[in-house]
Amino acid sequence: MNGTAPRYGLAPPNEDDGLSMLARVIGVDRAAAAWARARREAGLGVAGRTDLGPAELLRIAEVLMRADGAERAIGTSLAVRSRTWLLLNREQPGGAR
């Protein structure tokens, strides 16, 4: 996924963003384990096989939001960012974005 949201300059969230958010809060090792678990539970397999776009990141965020504590908070944040990007980039009636 590339490009920014028109008029807003909002870059699409990516997997590094989500993992970095977790690592800042719960540490690198716990973040990697939580991310791998969430990715599997979201049906997205192991890291590195595909580039994840905002829709896939939203699926991961939804898994994280079912956890407790910091994972839930980070999941919520990632979900908001992913949904915002998706909504700002959806095709508007008449072809306008």
Of the pLDDT bands very low, low, confident and very high (cuts 50, 70, 90), residue 93 is low
What's the pLDDT tens digit per position in 7-53? 677 889 999 999 999 999 999 999 999 999 999 999 998 776 668 99
What's the pLDDT tens digit per position in 56-87? 999 999 999 999 999 999 999 999 999 999 99
Dihedrals phi, psi of 53, to nearest 5 degrees = -95, 180
* Single-letter amino acid, residue 60: I
- CA dist 7 and 95 (Å) reads 15
What is the pLDDT at residue 96?
Answer: 42
What is the pLDDT at residue 89?
Answer: 85
Q: Which residues of 65-75 are buried (b: 16+ CB within 10 A; e: fewer)?
A: beeeebbebbb
Angular region, 85: left φ>0, alpha ψ -120 to 50, beta rest: alpha
